[in-house]
Amino acid sequence: MCVRCIAKARTAGRAVQALLQGWQAPAGACRTARCFSSLPEPAVDAPARPNELEGKVAHPSLLNEDLLKAQYAVRGELYMKAMELQKAGKELIFTNVGNPQQLGQLPIKFNREVTSLVVAPFLLDHPAVASLYPKDVIERARKLNKMFGGAVGAYTDSRGNAGVRQEVADFIKRRDGYPSNPEHIFLTDGASVAVRLLLNALIRDSNDHILVPIPQYPLYSASIQLYGGTLLGYNLKEQTGWSMDFNEITRSVNEARNRGACVRGMVFINPGNPTGQCLTEDNLRDLVKFAHQEKVVLMADEVYQPNIYQDEKPFVSAKKVLGDLGVPYSNSVELASFHTVSKGVLGECGLRGGYVELTNFHPGTIDELYKAVSINLSPNTVGQVAMSLMVNPPQPGQESYEQWKKEHDEGLASLRRRAHAMTDGFNSLEGVTCTFTEGAMYSFPRLHLPPKAIAAAKAAGKPADTFYCLQLLEETGIVTVPGSGFGQEEGTFHLRTTILPPEEKIQDFVKLFQDFHKKFMAKYA
């Protein structure tokens, strides 16, 4: 609608009419009505949306629709029910989320000793410090204290401390054999923040699609919904160890593009969450080549890279495979790689330390992402210290090395034994099949539920696996996440549980689950 029409319109205020009545178009401009257009045509027939309801502007039904549609099953219905039962005094076992220290995993001693001195630097000058802390702990704390300008309570650069980013870059080079630019590394409050940063940048509207594995970690479905995009799922094949079928993925992309969709990115999780599978180098080469062919940003969720429980498929990063493939892949495929201090044998979930490394991204895009993180001023500094200690641990010959290595190796060996115990326990049951947990922190058993159980769930208005998990929670106190919260093939039912209960209690946990399952199956036989 042109400014002259606005002035003439009955809906225009008198002040607007008076202001625009004598307005003239610039010399040489077209005299058609559209040449004066600066505003869209008003939607005069559209009903006005209410600004408040029941006396509240921020009424739940008046909130952002994408927020209302977003679902996050890990803290969903089962978790809320668990909180209700806990308040009533029921003892619970939280296996719904990979939160190792909540279930008794101890922090690495060296990391906590250094952190204690960094957050309380006056202790470095205490007369007894040398008798309380190993020499290398004191040296590392002094180095970090200097790196942070003696003020770990102050803001850092919005990408994170430059010294810590250099340590991350050095870690990546040692791991992969290829250089990493610390200017292209962003430290974040856990990897989830970095994932959301990239998704927010990639998604422009609902026509932008992001490829996500099904089953998937609900961070992706929830974030894509929040940012107004569309999730384009690709099914992992359970019968072949949750493998990828690139013929099917290509078909899905082509179908979406034929509908006019714009496929912008592809997520993969290695090791898998919730499925626990590890990708081979061949799988990763296929991913890189697919991203190159289809022109999508590759988002490598590699937060579980330390958590490997078999020897046949060691962790290999997407960054290494990208470099090994050489040109044209190594200099063109846009790769965002995510890591965190929350997993591995550190399990420092509450300290919120993560990073994303950006490879082959346009410099202008990196500047825009820098602007975006600057809105939050700075990632938390304790998380940055935790990241420094993860990527640059004690070295052979240093006083704390033997203790650190013992804690690290024993912790990983214990997780491997627990992965076997959990998988074996599930597979011993009638009506349950479970792919071995090759990595990460979870088992994702399939529940072959009897028709009566499925009918009872339908009558209760619940997905069958949610129905099962709710009864499991109420009878045993075990908090899990139903497979429907991650996505699964139609007609299949699963649940996700961590493998994190303490090793001395893992057999009791497995028996508790087995006893419930036998009772459930008999009830609905």
Annotate 65-76 with three-state secondary structure. HHHHHCCCHHHC
Maximal C-alpha separation, the chain: 87
The 3-state DSSP class for residue 309 equals: coil
Q: Residue 198: CB partners within 8 Å, gap ≥ 6?
A: 265, 297, 299, 336, 356, 369
Distance of CA 366 to the CA centre of its chain: 20
**Phi, psi (5° rounding) for residue 489?**
-60, 145
Please check whether residue 431 is in contact with residue 271, taking contact to mean a CB–CB distance below 8 angstroms.
Answer: no
Q: Which of 516, 412, 438 is nearest to 472 (CA)?
A: 516
Radius of gyration of the chain (CA): 27
The 3-state DSSP class for residue 266 equals: strand
The mean pLDDT values, 10 residues at a time, for the chain of 525 residues are 44 45 44 42 67 85 83 77 90 86 90 96 93 96 94 94 98 97 97 96 96 93 94 93 91 94 96 94 95 97 96 96 97 97 91 97 96 94 97 96 96 94 93 94 94 94 93 93 89 92 90 94 92
Query: Looking at the chain, how many residues does it have?
Result: 525
Please check whether residue 141 is in contact with residue 114, taking contact to mean a CB–CB distance below 8 angstroms.
Answer: yes
Q: Residue 511: CB partners within 8 Å, gap ≥ 6?
A: none
**Which stretch of DSSP H or E encloses residue 478?**
strand 478-479
Q: Give the CA-trace dihedral at 25, 29, 35, 37, to 10 degrees.
A: -40
Q: Which residue has the tokens 């240093």?
A: 398
b/e map 180-210, b = 16+ CB within 10 Å? bebebbbbbbbbbbbbbbbbbbbbeeeebbb
> How many Cα atoms occupy the beta-carbon half-sphere of 390 within 13 Å?
30
**Phi, psi (5° rounding) for residue 375?**
-60, -30
395, burial (CB in 10 Å: exposed 0-12, middle 13-18, buried 19+): exposed
Q: Which of 365, 386, 358 is nearest to 189 (CA)?
A: 386
Q: Which of 291, 367, 301, 368 is nearest to 332 (CA)?
A: 291
Give the whole-angstrom CA distance, residue 48 versus residue 122. Answer: 61
Other beta carbons within 10 angstroms of residue 33's beta carbon come to 12
Strands (DSSP E) contained in 241-349 are 262-269, 297-301, 335-340
Other beta carbons within 10 angstroms of residue 12's beta carbon come to 15
Q: Which residue has the tokens 């991203």?
A: 291
The predicted pLDDT at position 56 comes to 83
Could you tell me the two tokens for 178?
A: 């290829």
Instruction: Please name each of the domains of the chain with its CATH number.
Output: 1-21+33-40 (no CATH), 73-98+405-523 (3.90.1150.10), 145-391 (3.40.640.10)
Q: Which residues is 43 bridged to in the sheet?
A: none
Please check whether residue 486 is in contact with residue 217, taking contact to mean a CB–CB distance below 8 angstroms.
Answer: yes
Compute the 3-state secondary structure of the chain and give helix, strand, coil in percent, each to the nearest 5. 50, 15, 40
Please check whether residue 92 is in contact with residue 82, taking contact to mean a CB–CB distance below 8 angstroms.
Answer: yes
Give the whole-angstrom CA distance, residue 303 versus residue 318. Answer: 12
Give the whole-angstrom CA distance, residue 431 versus residue 449. Answer: 7
The predicted pLDDT at position 46 comes to 63
Give the whole-angstrom CA distance, residue 140 versus residue 117. Answer: 9
Please check whether residue 321 is in contact with residue 288, taking contact to mean a CB–CB distance below 8 angstroms.
Answer: yes
Pairing mode of beta strands 354-359, 185-188: antiparallel
Q: How far is CA 513 from CA 446, 473, 507, 519, in A?
A: 14, 10, 10, 10
Give the whole-angstrom CA distance, residue 463 versus residue 454. Answer: 8
